[in-house]
Amino acid sequence: MAKKVLVLGELRDGSLRNVSFEAIAAGKKIAEGGEVAAVLIGDSIKSQADAMIHYGADRVIVVEDEQLKHYTPDGFSQAFMAVCNEEIPDAIVFGHTSLGKDLSPKIASKLNTGLVSDVTDIEEGDDGFVFTRPIYSGKAFEKKVIIDGITFITVRPNNIEPLEKDESRSGEVQSIAAEIKDLRTIVKEVITKASEGVDLSEAKVIVAGGRGVKSAEGFEPLKELAEVLGGAVGASRGACDADYCDYSLQIGQTGKVVTPDLYIACGISGAIQHLAGMSNSKVIVAINKDPEANIFNVADYGIVGDLFEAVPLLTEEFRKLKTSS
């Protein structure tokens, strides 16, 4: 049965995040031949609508207001509910990001519907779509089927393959007005730490360091390898606690959860809290001097040795491959 699906497009620094396109792909599957309408919320963001259509959205609904320039749960929930009340969707898809994790329960509560969060796979089953999500810090998976009400899910970044971009696709872009009022939080200014390179949560390649890097300077070889591979640098909590790097790089149960195509763990022992944030990576390479380190139990490839010898050698070889190709 064809359905109408609303997909929330998420922007960062004025550009759409890749998870927005992954959410569209998930929405197309759930729609079963029905309509996928992307929703953009913000201030002066209509220019981003075409990208959503190029990646598979049938049309785009834009809610613009100067009070929506920065995310607040009150403002965005009022804007999204205005769209829901007009569209009456059968399904909703958000990205499982900081914004999505904060906003989705609020919307689900207003709609009096359930929510399946952190979905990593969608399959067709006898009683409807089967949504797979990790539980117990990634040590197990559960499968859920929604049998009544609105299908509402958040999808984990880097797990649902986006549809191929087609710039010849066209679709309607419409603006709707939403009354944004009684905001309990008003963001006057956003100050962020300067970040370079690829966004850690969406990186296809991550080079992560643990206590084994020994110092802030110890991250330099890792940064060089990540740059050659076009990836991002991450860290274990131990490295962050030791002031080797900023907590914004932390991967794990109390940090970011990542699922890159390639994860290179350097000097990381493999505590269960760290594994909870990266064990679903497609390929894991571990570099550690201790052959008994727990990280080797989840690694696809292991290098027992000094990371300060192994990492520069890997960097050199990858650089040669890039040059020759």
> In percent, how much of the chain has pLDDT > 70?
98
Query: Could you read off the pLDDT of 6-24 as tens digits, one per residue?
Result: 999 999 888 999 999 999 9
Check pLDDT > 70 for residue 196.
no
Mean pLDDT of 52-74: 96
Percent of the chain with pLDDT over 90: 86
Q: Calculate mean pLDDT across residues 80-105.
A: 97
Q: In the predicted model, what is the mean pLDDT of residues 160-168?
A: 95
Residue 207: per-residue pLDDT: 97
Q: 3-state DSSP helix/strand/coil percent for the chain, to nearest 5?
A: 35, 25, 40
Burial of 278: CB neighbours in 10 Å, binned 0-12, 13-18, 19+? buried
pTM of the model: 0.87
Residue 143 predicted with pLDDT over 90: yes
User: What's residue 191's pLDDT?
Assistant: 79
Q: 176 and 185 in contact (C-beta within 8 Å)?
A: no
Identity at 49, one-letter amino acid code? A
Any residues with CB less than 8 A from the CB of 265 and at least 6 apart, and which?
Answer: 208, 210, 278, 284, 285, 286, 287, 288, 295, 299
Mean pLDDT of 57-79: 96
Q: How many CB atoms lie within 10 A of CB 98?
A: 12
Average of per-residue pLDDT values in the chain: 94
**Least confident piece of the model among 95-99, 105-109, 134-138, 260-264:** 134-138
pLDDT of 201: 86
**Least confident interval from 284-288, 292-296, 321-325:** 321-325
Confidence of residue 194 (pLDDT cuts 50, 70, 90): low
Q: Which of 216, 131, 304, 266 is nearest to 274 (CA)?
A: 266
Of 130, 100, 85, give the one whose Cα is nearest residue 10.
100
**Integer Cα distance of 319 and 49 in angstroms:** 37
pLDDT value at residue 197? 66
Q: Flag whether pLDDT at 311 surpasses 70.
A: yes
Catalogue the E-assigned strands of 2-155.
4-9, 11-12, 15-16, 35-42, 59-64, 91-95, 116-119, 121-125, 128-135, 140-145, 151-155
* Burial of residue 303, with CB atoms counted within 10 A of its CB: 0-12 exposed, 13-18 middle, 19 or more buried: buried
Q: pLDDT tier at 76 (50, 70, 90 boundaries)?
A: very high
Q: What is the pLDDT of residue 14?
A: 84
Q: How confident is the model at residue 136 (pLDDT cuts 50, 70, 90)?
A: confident
Closest listed residue to residue 200, CA positions, set 48, 41, 17, 10: 17
Residue 138: pLDDT band (50, 70, 90) is: confident
Question: Where in the chain do CATH 3.40.50.620 domains reside?
Answer: 4-175
Q: Please compute the mean of the pLDDT values over residues 107-115 and round it to a whole number.
A: 96
The structure tokens 């990836």 sit at 231
- Give residue 277's Cα distance to chain centre: 12
Burial 155-184 (b: 16+ CB within 10 A, else e): bbbbbbebbeeeeeeebebeeeebebeeee
**Structure tokens given for 131:** 């949504």
pLDDT digits (tens, 9 = 90+) for 257-268: 999 999 999 999
Asked whether the predicted pLDDT for residue 325 surpasses 80, the reply is: no
Structure tokens at 83: 């769209």
Q: How far apart are CA 267 and CA 311, in angstroms?
A: 11
Q: Does domain 200-324 have CATH number 3.40.50.1220?
A: yes
Q: Is the pLDDT higher at 185 or at 130? A: 130
CB 247 within 8 A of CB 239: no
Pick the CATH number of 4-175 from 3.90.1150.10, 3.40.50.620, 3.90.1010.10, 3.40.50.1100: 3.40.50.620
CA distance linking residue 311 with residue 297, whole number of Å: 20
Distance CA 75, CA 85 (A): 16
Tell me: pLDDT of 97 over 60: yes
Q: Where in the chain is the domain with CATH 3.40.50.1220?
A: 200-324
What pLDDT sits at residue 322?
86
Q: Cα(149)–Cα(179) distance, rounded to whole angstroms? A: 26
pLDDT grade, residue 288 (50/70/90)? Answer: very high
Q: Distances in Å between the alpha carbon of 161 and those of 11, 16, 19?
A: 19, 16, 9
